[in-house]
Amino acid sequence: MTRAVRWVAAVLFALGMMGLPVEVAANTGHEAAVARFATDAFPDTIAGIEAVVDAASPLAEPVLQALIDRRLTFDPTTRRVYFRDAAGALFDAASGASVQDAPARLDTVRINNRIRNILQGALGTLTLISPDPAQRMRAAEAVLRGRDPEALPALASAITRETDPRIRTVMEQARAAIQLRLPDTSEAERQAAVAALAARGDQRTLALLRQIRAETQPGALAINLDAAIQRMEARLAVLARVQDLWAGISLGSVLLLAAIGLAITFGVMGVINMAHGEMVMLGAYTTFVVQELIRTHAPHLFDWSLPIAIPLAFLVTALVGIAIERGIIRYLYGRPLETLLATFGVSLVLQQAVRTAFGPTNREVGSPSYMSGAFDFFGLSITYGRLWIVVFAIAIFAGLLITLKATSLGLQMRAVTQNRRMASAMGIRTGFVDAMTFALGSGIAGLAGVALSQIDNVSPNLGQGYIIDSFIVVVFGGVGNLWGTLVGALTLGIANKLLEPVAGAVLGKIIILIAIILFIQKRPRGLFALKGRAIEQ
């Protein structure tokens, strides 16, 4: 009875995983195959391995892995076969059911070197027909890399039963790569194989084709190979540029994040806030503190640490911003150069305060699961962390734009920027608006700190690295214009990354700086200059 239930469960499982009737029948084959290990004789074990591979049950891989690791055991009295997983838990090898009370005596199935070799091959083949598509993909890629002629029969059978077209393509490419190596492949097959491989187009395949080209005698195939290599090189070159472009957008969004708060305090209010970088730093440290608290008190919330840190970082830095504005900056309006000096003093104090509180060394801020890893996008490798930062930057930019254009506070901010005295005469509390504007700019710097904690070292010097770039972005884009900041940040980011492969990172940066200095000569008020008399000092 229980056996029948198990059988049905296994069938359903297999159906769910593979969706192939062949696999259903194969499962009884697995039980029969596993039973052969119980004799513990080498020929029987070999036959068992082959039978297990043929049966292709989901259990095949763990069973064979257990055998190679000497974790496969059998009960000499009942002749049932068991295996332990890496953690030591006992399972029935035929059914995969967990076994609670282990039999009194368990003997390990013996293996020798020959069996170990067979097992290794079998395990490689097995992953090719594993029910897990990701595992099949990895196995196919591995075969493609290894180009082992031994794998050809297993590969051929895997291709016939493969349903996922993407995995199938990779398998066919792997077969092509192996075929090119075999001496008895016909010329037509070779041509087809080259065509199949040329369809790939990653760096590794290019290296493979170059290697094959070196092995090939001059002739039609060699000409084909040369053409394929050339096409691939051209494609890879384009891809590399696109990758640079993406890196540029990513850097641009980081610059945008760092600069956009400054675009408010400097651009809208005309306050040269040298402590802006320290606001970013405070945001990053807020993230660190939130993560530490979560780590010690509620580790299961770890993935939520960034969403929790975002409002807190905004709040903390906005409050610090209000304190700076009310305490220092409001006495210095109309004296931009003095503001610069005073806020530089503030930045020194904040840096030292953080250094005293948290120590001078880098602090570790972890990445939540959704921010680690990368995915492949038409041959581009895109990391989730960078993608999220781009999204975050766009969201903040949009939010800020809406705040400035569609809220009454935004209206008041713009009014005070354009004509302080007139705005005051119209009943706007300019002092309050100043404080709120500065708080907004500082808070956004704090948000930038949350994002930068993911890609940069969280140290007391974090902000210093961004302050000059931020100013340059704002000045380049045009003071007092958010769109200018956006365009400025993206232009600088992309230009930087496109120059990097040509000139090197440092020289590229120097070229950008010189270009900016020259650009300011041409357009002293940036890309998008505000026009009007109010802007002149």
Partner 1 sequence: MINADAHAILDRRSKLFLIILAVITAWVVFANAVIPESSQFHVSNGSVVLYGKYLTYALLALSIDLIWGYCGILSLGHGAFFALGGYAMGMYLMRQIGTRGVYGHPVLPDFMVFLNWRELPWAWVGFDWFIYAAIMVFLVPGLLAFVFGWFAFRSRVTGVYLSIITQAMTYALLLAFFRNDMGFGGNNGLTDFKDILGFSVQASGTRLTLFTLSALALAACFVLCRIMVASTYGKILVAIRDAESRTRFLGYRVEHHKLLVFTVSAMMAGLAGALYVPQVGIINPSEFSPANSIEAVIWVAVGGRGTLIGAVVGALSVNAMKTAFTTGVLAPYWLFVLGAIFILVTLALPKGIMGLVDRLMAAWKARTRPVAPPQPETGA
The separation between the first and the last C-alpha atoms of the chain, rounded to the nearest angstrom, is 92
Toward partner 1, which CB reaches closer, 455 or 516? 516
272 binds partner 1, rule: CB under 8 A: yes
Toward partner 1, which CB reaches closer, 406 or 518? 518
Provide the 10 A C-beta neighbour count for residue 141. 16
Amino acid letter, 208? L
361 binds partner 1, rule: CB under 8 A: no
β-pairing, 107-108 vs 374-377, is unpaired
How near is the Cβ of 311 to partner 1 at its closest, in Å?
29
Amino acid letter, 72? L
From candidates 76, 336, 359, 373, binder to partner 1 by CB under 8 A: 336
From candidates 297, 300, 522, 531, binder to partner 1 by CB under 8 A: 522
Toward partner 1, which CB reaches closer, 170 or 256? 256
Whether the CB-CB separation of 317 and 331 falls below 8 Å is answered with: no
Cβ contacts of residue 36 below 8 Å, gap of 6+? 44, 45, 47, 48, 51
Whether the CB-CB separation of 272 and 338 falls below 8 Å is answered with: no
How near is the Cβ of 446 to partner 1 at its closest, in Å?
20
As to burial, measured by CB atoms within 10 angstroms (0-12 exposed, 13-18 middle, 19+ buried), residue 98 is exposed
Among 329, 347, 537, CA closest to 439: 329
Q: Give 376's strand partners.
A: 381
**Kindly report the CA angle at 287 between 243 and 374, in degrees rounded to 5?**
25
Toward partner 1, which CB reaches closer, 263 or 475? 475
Spatial distance between the Cα atoms of 452 and 297, rounded to a whole number of angstroms: 24
Toward partner 1, which CB reaches closer, 48 or 526? 526
Tell me which stretch binds partner 1 (CB under 8 A): 113-121, 173-181, 332-340, 412-420.
332-340
Toward partner 1, which CB reaches closer, 186 or 537? 537
Q: How are strands ordered across the β-sheet holding 81-84?
A: 90-92, 81-84, 72-74, 107-108
Among 201, 199, 189, CA closest to 165: 199
The secondary structure of 457-526 as a DSSP string is -BSTTTTHHHHHHHHHHHHHH-TT-HHHHHHHHHHHHHHHHHHHHHH-HHHHHHHHHHHHHHHHHH-TT-
520 binds partner 1, rule: CB under 8 A: yes
507 binds partner 1, rule: CB under 8 A: yes
Cβ contacts of residue 419 below 8 Å, gap of 6+? 534
**Sign, CA torsion 440/446/448/451:** negative
From candidates 120, 163, 352, 361, binder to partner 1 by CB under 8 A: 352
113 binds partner 1, rule: CB under 8 A: no
Whether the CB-CB separation of 404 and 410 falls below 8 Å is answered with: yes
From candidates 6, 213, 414, 509, binder to partner 1 by CB under 8 A: 509
Size of the site for partner 1 (CB under 8 A): 43
Give the containing element (helix H, strand E) for 72. Answer: strand 72-74
Give the containing element (helix H, strand E) for 83. Answer: strand 81-84
Toward partner 1, which CB reaches closer, 94 or 475? 475
357 binds partner 1, rule: CB under 8 A: no
How near is the Cβ of 248 to partner 1 at its closest, in Å?
19
From candidates 346, 416, 436, 487, binder to partner 1 by CB under 8 A: 346
Spatial distance between the Cα atoms of 257 and 429, rounded to a whole number of angstroms: 29
356 binds partner 1, rule: CB under 8 A: yes
531 binds partner 1, rule: CB under 8 A: no
Whether the CB-CB separation of 332 and 322 falls below 8 Å is answered with: no
88 binds partner 1, rule: CB under 8 A: no
Tell me which stretch binds partner 1 (CB under 8 A): 50-58, 79-87, 152-160, 352-360.
352-360
527 binds partner 1, rule: CB under 8 A: no
333 binds partner 1, rule: CB under 8 A: no
259 binds partner 1, rule: CB under 8 A: no
534 binds partner 1, rule: CB under 8 A: no
Toward partner 1, which CB reaches closer, 142 or 332? 332
485 binds partner 1, rule: CB under 8 A: no
From candidates 118, 259, 274, 396, binder to partner 1 by CB under 8 A: 274
521 binds partner 1, rule: CB under 8 A: yes
Toward partner 1, which CB reaches closer, 152 or 328? 328
245 binds partner 1, rule: CB under 8 A: no
Toward partner 1, which CB reaches closer, 188 or 506? 506
Spatial distance between the Cα atoms of 465 and 537, rounded to a whole number of angstroms: 30
From candidates 328, 401, 411, 535, binder to partner 1 by CB under 8 A: 328
Site for partner 1 in 454-483 (CB under 8 A): 464, 468, 471-472, 475
Tell me which stretch binds partner 1 (CB under 8 A): 52-60, 107-115, 255-263, 337-345.
337-345
Among 270, 287, 463, CA closest to 392: 287
Tell me which stretch binds partner 1 (CB under 8 A): 38-46, 74-82, 188-196, 514-522.
514-522
Report phi then psi at 310, rounded to 5. -60, -55
List residues binding partner 1 (CB under 8 A).
Answer: 272, 274, 328, 331-332, 336-342, 344-349, 351-353, 355-356, 464, 468, 471-472, 475, 506-507, 509-510, 513-514, 516-518, 520-522, 524-525, 537
